[in-house]
A and B are shown apart, each in its own frame.
Chain A
Amino acid sequence: MASGPHLSFDRVSKIYQSADGPVHALDGVTFDVGRREFVSLLGPSGCGKSTLLLISAGLLPKSGGTITIEGKPVQGPQTQLGIVFQSPVLLDWRRVLDNVMLQIEVRRLRRDQYQKRAEQLLASVGLEGFEHKYPFELSGGMRQRVAICRALIHDPPLLLMDEPFGALDALTREQMILDLQKLWLESQKVVFFVTHSIPEAVFLSDRVVVMSPRPGKVEEIFTIDLPRPRHLDIRETKEFAAYAKAIRDIFQAYGVLKDV
């Protein structure tokens, strides 16, 4: 299966049972995420993007269709990946280093073999000297960096990110976007990135999968043909603006965005 896509969705659907009857969250979602590819899933809130991410990790059951990771169907929680959520989800009672090492402990890997790597990872995100602080002693951006280190410590081939920068201030967010691009360029990882920010998706991605409002369907897939590494001022170019406008037009057509 070395040549196929890394992550593949085939007619995936999800129906929730709610008090007011069944809710169709996802409907026939089909697309692939290739090897070494950075793919964003972009859509308005409530379109089921986060649900799709959780389903792909085997953390939520799907109602229909197939998902495969490296050719193997996803059944039950997947462990060959790292996840970053919108909130850092750090354990308050563990110091920074021990939060990263949770991944190693639970996987029954040898702590002494990963301790050094954890320290290096933390240092590489500017957290040198904070290894023995508690999460409450860190700022929001620093906490999210710890969460990213925890998702990378076991060197997974696939990184799932669910609006990882959504709760950060604008400036921190820009830095994190640049850092994530650098990380992705240097590693061999597949990144599946959920966001509702059009510029964020266009800036980071090889391809942007645009979803419709509920029930979430794949509306269009854009291949972002911009040179790498991308710099912040690429956002002022005509090409970038064209991609952003094309995506925005879809949301406007759906009435998710209303211009005055």
Chain B
Amino acid sequence: MAMKSVEGEPKGPPATARRGRVPAWVTNYSYPLGAIVFLLVFWEIFVNAMKLPAYLLPPPSLVFGVVATQSKLLALHAVTTTMEVLLGFVMSVIIGIPLAVGIVSSRFFDRSIYPILVSSQSVPKIAIAPLFVVWFGFGTFPKVLVAFLISFFPIVISTVVGLRSVEPEMIYLIRSMGAGPMDTFRKIRFPNALPSIFGGLKIAITLSVVGAIVGEFIGADRGLGYLLLVANSNLDTKLLFAAIVYLAAIGIILFMIVERIERALIPWHVSRRTEVILESM
């Protein structure tokens, strides 16, 4: 048959700012950077004008001074915390995704495990954290466990939602090709769920940072959470803020890494979605 295309040119990817006046990364980064610089300048002027003592609110100039002079100490603690965050996150992925697959594919899992999971989320993890110190001591593991507990739930939920939201026609279609449950999962359900899974992963990575810090607050001898407590008790507010700067940097960098992986794995989804502000973080 010779079908002729009646409709006009195909829709290409949206030609926003790709080729235009300014390169895309400039517009992507200039707005958030500009906002942050404005905030810092305002902060500096405010502290100086109000003559606030540094132990109450140090000006950004002093904080960045500490970030520079104490970089060795901060980096050392940052490495510990980053390890805990990553281990907790990886544990969430390794346990969360298969658990979600189990919930979606087995009625038994769905009926028995899912309700427990959901109700367990109403228990504040911070309340359980001291117990982990009793059980597992002051090492890395209890912190990883708290990070895992906080971050795995969004992964499970988003994976379950993603795996379930398949157009029925898609399932009909692949069944008419003779596909069994494995084919349906590998070729339809799982790739179809990836955008949703990545939504969960992005929440999880930021929550994992929170979890690691909470774990360190309960009982630790290193890590940025530990450093925060020490700086706080010494009224060393500059160091406290410097630790927060490091913490924020870890969170942002890890988030961006997850987003890069998302871009590499599901370009068909990322390029279709409109540019969001988070992309330029």
Which residues of chain A have a CB within 8 Å of any CB of chain B? 54, 57, 59, 77-79, 81-83, 85, 87, 89, 91-93, 102-103, 105-107, 124-127, 130, 133-142, 145, 169, 171-172, 174-176, 179-180, 182-183, 186
**Residues of A close to B3: CB separation below 8 A:** 124-126, 145, 175-176, 179
Task: Kindly list chain A residues whose C-beta atoms are within 8 Å of the C-beta of B169.
Answer: 85, 87, 89
In the complex, A82→B1 CA distance in Å?
17
Q: How many angstroms between the C-alpha atoms of A257 and B146 in the bound complex?
A: 64
| A139 to chain B: closest residue by CB | B7
A50 to chain B, nearest CB (A): 10
Kindly list the 7 A-B residue pairs having the minimum CB-CB distance in the complex, ordered from nearest: A183-B1, A179-B3, A125-B3, A106-B177, A126-B5, A77-B175, A79-B178
Which residues on the A side are within 8 Å of B135 (C-beta)? none
Residue B266 CB within 8 A of the other chain: yes
User: Contact between A106 and B179 (Cβ–Cβ < 8 Å)?
Assistant: yes
Instruction: Tell me how far the C-beta of A122 lies from the nearest C-beta in chain B, rounded to whole angstroms.
Output: 10
User: A106 contacts B12, CB within 8 Å?
Assistant: no
Bitwise, B222-266 to A at CB < 8 A (1) or not (0) is 000000000000000000000000000000000000000000001
Chain B nearest CB, measured from A2 CB (Å):
24
Contact B1 A139 (CB under 8 A): no
Known contacts A78-B176, A79-B177, A139-B10: does B187 contact A106 (CB below 8 Å)?
Answer: yes
Q: Besides the contacts A91-B188, A142-B5, A179-B3, what 8 more A-B pairs have beta carbons closer than 8 Å?
A: A59-B176, A77-B175, A83-B176, A93-B266, A106-B178, A106-B179, A174-B6, A183-B1
Query: At the interface, yes or no: B183 with Cβ under 8 Å from chain A?
Result: yes
In the complex, which residues of chain B have a beta carbon less than 8 angstroms from the beta carbon of A127? 5
A126 partner residues in chain B, CB cutoff 8 A = 2-5
Kindly identify which residue among A77, A83, A142, A182 contacts B10, using a CB–CB cutoff of 8 Å.
A142
Return B2 CB to nearest CB of chain A, in Å.
Answer: 6
What are 29 pairs between A and B in contact, CB < 8 Å? A57-B172, A57-B176, A77-B176, A78-B176, A79-B178, A83-B173, A83-B176, A85-B172, A91-B188, A91-B192, A93-B192, A93-B268, A102-B174, A102-B187, A107-B177, A107-B178, A124-B1, A125-B1, A125-B2, A126-B2, A126-B3, A137-B10, A137-B11, A141-B5, A171-B7, A172-B7, A175-B3, A179-B2, A186-B1
Query: From A138, which residue of chain B is reached at the shortest CB distance?
Result: B10
Q: B1 touching A142 by the CB < 8 A rule?
A: no
- B18 interfacial contact with A, CB 8 Å: no
Q: Which residues of A contact B188 (CB under 8 A)?
A: 91
- Nearest CB in chain B to that of A172: its residue: B6
Bound: A124/B175 CA distance, A: 27
The minimal Cβ–Cβ distance linking A43 to chain B, given in whole angstroms, is 20
With A57-B172, A106-B183, A137-B13 already in contact, the answer to whether A91 and B191 are too (CB < 8 A) is yes
Q: Are A133 and B173 also in contact (CB < 8 A) when A125-B1, A142-B5 are?
A: no
Q: Which residues from chain B contact A171 at a C-beta distance below 8 Å? A: 6-7
Min CB gap B172→A, angstroms = 5
Can you name the residue of chain A whose Cβ is closest to the Cβ of B177? A106
**Chain A nearest CB: distance from B60 CB in Å?**
44
Whether the Cβ atoms of B1 and A179 lie closer than 8 Å is yes
User: Which chain A residues border B183 with CB–CB below 8 Å?
Assistant: 106
How far is it, in angstroms, between the C-alpha of A107 and the C-alpha of B175 when the chains are bound? 10
Q: Which residues of B contact A78 (CB under 8 A)?
A: 176
**Residues of chain A with a CB closer than 8 A to B94's CB:** none
B173 / chain A contacts, CB cutoff of 8 Å:
83, 85, 89
From residue A113, how far is it (CB to closest CB) to chain B in Å?
16
Give the chain B neighbours of A124 by CB distance below 8 A: 1-3
Residues of chain B lying within 8 A (CB to CB) of residue A179: 1-4
Which of chain A's residues have a CB closer than 8 A to the CB of B2?
Answer: 124-126, 179, 182
**Closest CB of chain B to A255's CB: distance in Å?**
31
**Which of B7, B170, B272 has the most chain A CB atoms inside 10 A of its CB?**
B7
Using CB atoms, name the residue of chain B closest to A180. B1
- Closest chain B residue to A173 by CB distance? B6
Query: Nearest Cβ in chain A — how far from B85, in angstroms?
Result: 29
A130 with B10, Cβ < 8 A, contacts A79-B177, A107-B178 known: yes
**Among B172, B174, B268, contact of A106 (Cβ-Cβ < 8 Å):** B174
Whether the Cβ atoms of A92 and B4 lie closer than 8 Å is no
Q: CA A138 – CA B12 in complex, angstroms?
A: 8
Q: Give the distance in Å from the alpha carbon of A248 to the alpha carbon of B179 in the complex.
A: 41
- A175 and B187: CB pair below 8 A? no
Q: Which residues of A contact B172 (CB under 8 A)?
A: 54, 57, 59, 83, 85
Q: Which of A78, A136, A182 has the most CB of B within 10 A?
A: A136
